[in-house]
Structure 1
């Protein structure tokens, strides 16, 4: 099979395509013929050995995929061979085959093709949990979403507006803000030109945001935190900026604010009932017409350039590798 291979840590340009033996599922595992795999910013960090968990070399990068069950390992009773599934693994998705624990697989919501299914699971689950499970968002509240045109950010805008949450989108250009406004955000802030703290307060009527969703980090995190209303909630999701923020605890005290984090792997292990509830809610939204924003589709041979574009934040929504393209 064809697979992307990372043989040394570093920038995405060092990832190459190789021919390797077909995979065999072990006990409790499922072999999936991958049709599409989404490119996420953590894939860039894993390739550079800058993620919280290190992947031993050599490895196949990629976490999010959609495809068809090809074989089942010992002890696995379902899903049957030929079933369309989506799933997530730590590494291994950027290949024509992936082996995953059966618990890591999910049915594809009706209405999604393989490309959109690959782009859906991780970012939309992250967005929903950050907003609802962790963030406690309710209809009528104001949520400030940073990186609002990126993968998680655009999903957060999409889900929030469908829940009746009013969104102030923050992004790095007018073009990227237009993407967020097209997904339902009521207001937009270009944080390369406008003061985030001041503008969030102005655009929410002076009181500030009830909730901040931050997949960006860096200097914008503290500014967004300062834009919270008293008793507001700040959810940290990731650090696309490349810098982990340091928010002074006295601000948390003075605002009587809550700071929480969201990490998908731990949510699956610690709160399976919340994961199931999110899946039901998101499936209903898909039935109502929700689709992930996919801005680029590449063949597997262009994996290095796809990862580079994501690393340099030159994309909007999701970038997907289509294994059926050459």
Structure 2
């Protein structure tokens, strides 16, 4: 079968498309014939050796997959060949087939296509865990989303609306903000045109912002904490801006606010039952049209390098999908 392999820490241009043996399902596993594999920004960091997870070489990028069960291993009774499924596998999605533990697999509704199913897992899983499980949201509260047109940011905008929050999209261009407004945002801030801290203060008023969702990091983080309401919640999602910020802790004292970490991957390992229930809920919401799982563009497996460059250039609004 074909696979895109990273054999040493490298950039997208150094990935190699090659043939590797077909996988065999072990006990408690199923082999999935991959129809769609979704890429994320952390795939770039992973192949460069800059991510907290460093798989053994050689590995393939792409953590999210959707496809059809081809075979099952010993002891598997809840899945059968032909079932339409999706899974979060951490890496190795940029290939034609993969063997996956059945505990990582969820079935997908018949009316949900493979591209959107693959794109739901990480970004919506992260956003739902952040907003539902970590933020303790109350209907009508304000939610400021940084990087609102990116994958996780867009998911937060949509899920914020589903959860009854007043969503404030923050992004670097009017085009991105218009896109976020189509996906649940009520108000917008262009932080390329105005100071983010002042804009949040203007919108939040004396009360401040109840929930800040930050997948960007860098200088934006401190602005978000400074804009937080009394008993506000600042959600640390990631550092797509490249810089891990250092927050003056006196701000948390003065605001009486919480700085809450959101590590979806660890949550899925530590609390797999609730994590799986969240994914099943999201798949149904996607099938019902409550969330868009918007696909920005698709690429054949042979063009994985080009797909990763779209992410590196911050060009994607929604998901970038590979078709093995």
Q: CA deviation at 1:281?
A: 4.0
**2:220 is matched with which residue?**
220
Per-residue CA distance 1:65-122 (angstroms, 9 max, x = gap):
0001111122222311110100011211000011111111111145310111111121
CA contact (8 A) 2:117 2:283 kept: no
CA contact (8 A) 2:120 2:282 kept: no
Structure 1, 205-214 or 97-106: larger mean CA deviation? 205-214
Structure 1, 275-284 or 157-166: larger mean CA deviation? 275-284
**1:251 is matched with which residue?**
251
Q: CA deviation at 1:307?
A: 0.8
Q: Which runs of 5+ in 2 are unaligned?
A: none
TM-score, normalization by structure 2: 0.95
**1:26 is matched with which residue?**
26
Distance 2:270 2:154 in 1: 26
Distance 1:206 1:306 in 2: 44
The yes-or-no answer on 1:178 pairing with 2:178 is: yes
Q: Which runs of 5+ in 1 are unaligned?
A: none
Distance 1:83 1:291 in 2: 23
CA contact (8 A) 1:5 1:17 kept: yes
**1:126 is matched with which residue?**
126
Alignment partner of 2:126: what SS?
helix
Distance 1:303 1:272 in 2: 30
CA contact (8 A) 1:38 1:320 kept: yes
Alignment partner of 2:252: what SS?
helix
**1:90 is matched with which residue?**
90
Distance 2:224 2:150 in 1: 17
Alignment partner of 2:224: what SS?
helix
CA contact (8 A) 2:204 2:227 kept: no
Runs of 4+ off more than 3 Å: none
Distance 2:273 2:26 in 1: 27
**1:16 is matched with which residue?**
16
CA contact (8 A) 1:168 1:189 kept: yes
CA contact (8 A) 2:135 2:211 kept: yes
Per-residue CA distance 1:4-32 (angstroms, 9 max, x = gap):
11122122121121111111122222110
CA contact (8 A) 1:169 1:189 kept: yes
Per-residue CA distance 1:101-160 (angstroms, 9 max, x = gap):
111111114531011111112111111111111111221000000110011100110111
**2:313 is matched with which residue?**
312
What are the residue-to-residue correspondences of 1:203-218 with 2, within 5 Å?
203-218=203-218
CA contact (8 A) 2:286 2:293 kept: no
Distance 1:276 1:8 in 2: 32
Distance 2:201 2:282 in 1: 30
Distance 2:208 2:110 in 1: 38
**1:41 is matched with which residue?**
41
CA contact (8 A) 1:143 1:211 kept: yes
Per-residue CA distance 1:155-212 (angstroms, 9 max, x = gap):
1101111221111111111111111111121111111221111111212344221001
Distance 1:24 1:280 in 2: 26
CA contact (8 A) 1:149 1:180 kept: yes
Distance 2:216 2:100 in 1: 29
Distance 2:241 2:259 in 1: 19
**1:303 is matched with which residue?**
304
Alignment partner of 1:127: what SS?
helix
**1:292 is matched with which residue?**
293
